[in-house]
Amino acid sequence: MDTEILRTSREIVDDANALARVFYGMLGYQVEPGYRFDQATHPQESAMWAMAVVAYENIEGTDVEDALNDILDDE
């Protein structure tokens, strides 16, 4: 039996931010806990978000930007 785990938009965005944090750490940088790469204005931090979005979409098949827009629409 194939069971699919449904994730909330918040969980998807949080996971993508966590992945961006890992990528940033691989470059030798760190940010404070809870830092939101999806709101970054620094080019390198924005690039980490973009990389996380692409990785998440390729692995999970989930559109992270759609999930982010869902969150923004609810705020």
- Residue-wise pLDDT for 12-41, tens only, equals 999 999 999 999 999 999 999 899 999 999
Containing structural domain, residue 24: 9-74
Look at residue 26 and tell me if it is in a domain: yes
Residue 1 lies in a domain: no
Amino acid making up residue 18: A
Number of domains in the chain: 1
pLDDT of residue 23: 98
Residue 46 structure tokens: 């924005």
Question: Are 65 and 53 contacting, i.e. CB atoms less than 8 angstroms apart?
Answer: yes
pTM of the model: 0.86
In a domain, residue 28? The reply is: yes
Long-range contacts of 62-66 (CB under 8 A, 24+ apart): 62/7, 62/12, 64/12, 64/13, 64/16, 66/9
